[in-house]
Amino acid sequence: MQLPAYETLATRMDAPHVLVVTLNRPEVLNALNTQMGRDLLDLWTRLTEDPEDVRCVVLTGAGERAFCSGGDLKERNGMTPDTWRRQHELFERQYWTLMDLQVPVIAAVNGHAYAGGLETVLACDFAYAARHARFALTEVTIGIMPGAGGTQNLPRAIGERRAREVILTGRPFDAEKAHAWGVLNEVFDAAELMPRALETAHRIAANAPLSVRQAKKSIRYGMQMELKTAFRFEVEAYNHLVATEDRLEGVRAFNEKRPPQFKGR
């Protein structure tokens, strides 16, 4: 997939179907500024409109200290309320576009994920992290509150009572707790993180892409419905796959005892 040369992101294809996206402002711990908001919104929108050959995304941060330290408070220092709100509306759009993205996104959390950084982790499909990473929603310590899904996605991940403690205290927690509580799927030594995240991404990318997208959609929207309606939604998503070439190829490959060659059709 051909992407622009983003000012705040580094992108590369890990052939043939995995896109690696790196938040690339290590000098400020990959803090989210206005330009990064624009870059991420552009990227997620392109992948929404036409993912082309991308079947899975791995999102990480540059350097070893931080995945993302949250909003860039140096840029925000002295902002008028109107400018702050307009910037936040940009951030909102990129977060919601990420959450609705049809392509799976794995967070490979290479370091600390605070405030909007943790909200980014929670907006991904699931996450792995380096053992030294720490996590927090620190917004209440500077006079605001989580505003990019933190008060909604964190309780859904770790339970309401624990999320209340995390959000209302602003207190950091370590990767082992994040794993035990359900924020993370796995914790690795730093050197293992990207190889393991890429291994999982390639495993997902080897599966039928239309099946992966429909399954992701069914989970995403079904979890917002009462159970019987969600069952109906799941069946509708399933039925879209019955007439696909990939379904025929998958069954044929199974019977011929060979790996399937999925085309996304």
Q: Render pLDDT for 7-35 as a digit per residue (tens, 0 to 9).
A: 999 999 998 999 999 999 999 999 999 99
The catalytically annotated residue of 92, 119, 186, 245 is 119
| CATH class name, domain 209-255 | mainly alpha
**Could you confirm whether 236 is annotated as catalytic?**
no
Angle between helices 209-222 and 227-239 (to 10 degrees): 160
Q: Could you tell me the pTM of the whole model?
A: 0.94
How many Å apart are CA 187 and CA 175, to the nearest integer? 7
pLDDT lower than 50: segments of the chain: none
The catalytically annotated residue of 139, 165, 199, 256 is 139
pLDDT of residue 159: 97
Cα separations (Å) of 201 from 95, 183, 212, 225? Answer: 21, 18, 12, 28
Beta bridge partners of 128: 108, 186
How many Å apart are CA 222 and CA 238, to the nearest integer? 13
Task: For the chain, state the CA radius of gyration.
Answer: 19
How many Å apart are CA 109 and CA 77, to the nearest integer? 27
DSSP 194-208: HHHHHHHHHHHHTS-
**Could you confirm whether 119 is annotated as catalytic?**
yes
Domain ranges in the chain are 9-205, 209-255
What are the pLDDT digits (tens) for 150-176? 999 999 999 999 999 999 999 999 999
Question: What kind of fold does domain 9-205 have according to CATH?
Answer: 2-enoyl-CoA Hydratase; Chain A, domain 1 (3.90.226)
How many Å apart are CA 71 and CA 90, to the nearest integer? 12
pLDDT of residue 249: 84
